[in-house]
C-alpha cells in the first residue's frame, strides 16, 4: 500500500505544471470592471434623475404652499375688510338722522318745558354718537380757521378773508368709517379779495422788467464794441 502511494506521488511530481493564461484572466477582469462601471454610470444617472425629480416636486410643493398661504392671507384680509365695512351702508342711512339732530340742537330754546325735552334729546344724541364711535365711525367737524382739506371737506361757497382756503363755517358734518370716507364735511372757505389796482401793479412790474432787459442788452452791445 505504501509503495502505491509513493508511485502516485512520484507521478504527480513528474507531471508538468499547468500554464496560467494571464491575458485571458486580465481580459475577464477588465470586462467585469467595464460592466461594473457601466452599471455604476447607469445607477448614477438614474440617481441624478430621481434627485432632480425630487427637487422639482419639492419646488412645486413650496410653490403651492406659498400660493395657499397667500390665498389664505388674502381671504382673511377680505373677511376683515368685510367685517370692518359691512355696516357702511347702514351708517350712510343714519347720517340724515344725525343731521336732523344737529339742526334740532343748534338753537337753545327759551321755554323751560322745551329745554327738558331738548336735554333728553341731547342725551340720546350723545349715546348715539358714542355707539357709532365704538363701531369705528369718526366725525369730521372742521374748526373755524382750519386749513381746507379737499380729501375730507367740500367747499360750497366762499367768503372774503385775510387768507385763502381757510374754513369760515361748517354747516354739515362729515363722517368716516375707519379709513373710508362716508361723506365730506360741508364748509364755507375764505378767499382773499382782489385789489382794484392789482392789475395796474402787475403791468408796472412787467414794464420795469422789460426796461431792465433793454438796458442789459444795450450794456452788452457797448461792451462788445
Q: Domains of the chain, with CATH numbers?
A: 88-196 (2.30.22.10)
With CA atoms as reference, report the closest residue to 145 among 166, 174, 172. Answer: 166
Q: What's the pLDDT tens digit per position in 159-187?
A: 998 899 999 999 999 999 998 999 999 99
With CA atoms as reference, report the closest residue to 171 among 138, 141, 128, 201. Answer: 141
At residue 2, does pLDDT exceed 70? no
Over range 127-133, report the average pLDDT: 93
Q: Which DSSP letter does residue 109 get?
A: P
Of residues 202 and 29, the one with the higher pLDDT is 29
User: Which of these ranges, 9-18, 142-151, 187-196, 201-210, has the smallest mean pLDDT?
Assistant: 9-18
| Local structure of 98: helix, strand or coil | helix
Residues 6+ apart with CB under 8 A from 161: 168, 190, 191, 192
Cell readout for 123 is: 342725551
At residue 153, does pLDDT exceed 60? yes
- Residues 99, 172: contact at Cβ < 8 Å? yes
With CA atoms as reference, report the closest residue to 186 among 198, 176, 174. Answer: 174
Amino acid at each position: 500500500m505504501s509503495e502505491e502511494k509513493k508511485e502516485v506521488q512520484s507521478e504527480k511530481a513528474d507531471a508538468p505544471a499547468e500554464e496560467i493564461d494571464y491575458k485571458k484572466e486580465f481580459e475577464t477582469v477588465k470586462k467585469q470592471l467595464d460592466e461594473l462601471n457601466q452599471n455604476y454610470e447607469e445607477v448614477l444617472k438614474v440617481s441624478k434623475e430621481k434627485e432632480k425629480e425630487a427637487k422639482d416636486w419639492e419646488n412645486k410643493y413650496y410653490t403651492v404652499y406659498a400660493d395657499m398661504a397667500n390665498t389664505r392671507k388674502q381671504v382673511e384680509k377680505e373677511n376683515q375688510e368685510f367685517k370692518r365695512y359691512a355696516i357702511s351702508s347702514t351708517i350712510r342711512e343714519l347720517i340724515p338722522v344725525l343731521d336732523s339732530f344737529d339742526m334740532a340742537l343748534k338753537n337753545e330754546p327759551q321755554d323751560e318745558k322745551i329745554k327738558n325735552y331738548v336735554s333728553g334729546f341731547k342725551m340720546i344724541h350723545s349715546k348715539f354718537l358714542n355707539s357709532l364711535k365704538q363701531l369705528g365711525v369718526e366725525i369730521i367737524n372742521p374748526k373755524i380757521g382750519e386749513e381746507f382739506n379737499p380729501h375730507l371737506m367740500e367747499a360750497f361757497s366762499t367768503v372774503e378773508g385775510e387768507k385763502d382756503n381757510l374754513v369760515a363755517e361748517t354747516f354739515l358734518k362729515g363722517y368716516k368709517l375707519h379709513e373710508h370716507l362716508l361723506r365730506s364735511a360741508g364748509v364755507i372757505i375764505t378767499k382773499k379779495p382782489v385789489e382794484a389796482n392789482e392789475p395796474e401793479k402787475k403791468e408796472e412790474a412787467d414794464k420795469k422788467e422789460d426796461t431792465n432787459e433793454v438796458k442789459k442788452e444795450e450794456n452788452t452791445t457797448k461792451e462788445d464794441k
